[in-house]
Amino acid sequence: MSNESQSNGIIHKSLVDTIVEEIESRIIKGELKPGERLIEQVMCDFLRVSRSPLREAFRILENRGFVVNNARKGVFVSELSAKDAVDIYTIRASLESLAIYLAVINDDGTLADRLAAINSQMIKYAEAGDTWNYSKNNQYFHETLINASNNKRLIEMLTIFGKQTVRYRAEVMFSKGKMEESIRKHEDIIQSIKLGDPEAAEIMRKKSILKNIEIALKLFS
């Protein structure tokens, strides 16, 4: 089956990417639970795809930490742990705070406006209770900020890290009151960029990310 094809109801630019996104979405929304076995034939029937692209999607999802593949028992939704959450937020705090420091230094004068436009869209999704699209736009907000660092190596590191940790970040994001808090923090980020103070922006972003550890410990313990 071609990657540029229709598979009985799924139209896509890349079949494997579409399968990955669909399974990621169902795991993040809690439709597929931690520890749940993903039976290959059942998933093929549900997604209306053949086994080959599904297996490739499983490999990608395993690399991102969404599933684990037990050669004897099958593929399972991976469990979440407090230790992983702490490690993730500790690493992210250092890397992303560096990214915002560089973004402020390299700002061409348009970054604050671009981020404000994304944040405005996120407010609409928050008001509608649309957590999935809110999460997608939150990811876009931070990708825009990271790309503005103009540091290729750092961008590559954070892109890979972001894919591997999106599930933890989504769980924290969906906790009570977190979307509203996230919007306020985004407004603070935008203001720091407008002020052109890279040191203040770096410190603020690091503290903001590390604060999520407390929430993560409650969620995953």
Ranges 21-30, 68-77, 92-101: which has the least confidence: 21-30
Q: Stretch 25-38: mean pLDDT, rounded? A: 89
pLDDT the model gives residue 50 = 93
What is the tens place of the pLDDT at every residue in 194-221? 999 999 999 999 998 998 898 888 888 7
Q: Where in the chain are all domains bearing CATH 1.10.10.10?
A: 6-77
pLDDT at 60: 93
Q: State which fold the 6-77 domain adopts.
A: Arc Repressor Mutant, subunit A (1.10.10)
Confidence (pTM): 0.74
Mean pLDDT of the chain: 88
Model confidence pLDDT, tens digit, residues 92-120: 999 999 999 999 999 999 999 999 999 99
Q: Is the pLDDT of residue 14 over 80?
A: yes
Q: How confident is the model at residue 165 (pLDDT cuts 50, 70, 90)?
A: confident
pLDDT for position 187: 94
Specify the CATH architecture of the domain 82-220: Up-down Bundle (1.20)
The segment(s) of the chain belonging to CATH 1.20.120.530 are: 82-220
**Span of 11-15, 74-78, 121-125, 147-151 with lowest mean pLDDT:** 11-15
DSSP string, the chain: --SSSEETTEE-S-HHHHHHHHHHHHHHTTSS-TT-B--HHHHHHHHT--HHHHHHHHHHHHHTTSEEEETTTEEEEPPP-HHHHHHHHHHHHHHHHHHHHHHHHT--S-HHHHHHHHHHHHHHHHHHT-HHHHHHHHHHHHHHHHHTT--HHHHHHHHHHHHHHHHHHHHHHTSTTHHHHHHHHHHHHHHHHHHT-HHHHHHHHHHHHHHHHHHHHHHH-
What pLDDT shows up at residue 146? 96
